[in-house]
Structure 1
Amino acid sequence: MSPPVEGHNPEPTACVIDSQSVKTSANVPATTQGIDAGKKILGRKRSIVTHTLGLLLAVLVTAASVSDGTVVR
């Protein structure tokens, strides 16, 4: 984590959470992928959390079957 900027609170006051389901190749182990039922995609889901200033706070890659609510917790 980078050092706090002078005059700024080191903890984010607001953030944006987004996820995207991505298809995987046939060579990917089945245990690391899932089906996103809403988009009908077999693959993985990448979720990111960014500060409202655009700074990246967290990245999480899960099976596509993991719900967005689970990722937030």
Structure 2
Amino acid sequence: MSGKLDTKEIDFVAEKQGKSIYVQVAYLLADKKIQEREFWNLLQIKDNFPKFVVSMDDVDMSQKGIIHLNIKDSLLNNW
């Protein structure tokens, strides 16, 4: 399901047994403005559940506890 934080949208919020994960999806994080847009919404969430940004980028852009994943790697990983 998708979620909202004030007027900002979180692409996917998954909940199971009282635990959540948050996921933002972008094609490419090509510039600083796009990176800020995708990470900012997740930075506003003050709980300690996992937060992810998924894109086609091969370079790891994880920051401030938010994990950046390459889409191919994330689909092949056994979470």
Greater radius of gyration (CA) = 1
- TM-score in same-fold range (> 0.5): no
Kindly indicate which of the two structures has a greater share of residues assigned to strand: 1
- Bigger relative contact order, structure 1 or 2 (CA pairs below 8 A, ≥6 apart): 1
Structure 2-normalised TM-score? 0.24
Kindly indicate which of the two structures has a greater share of residues assigned to helix: 2
Structure 1-normalised TM-score? 0.26
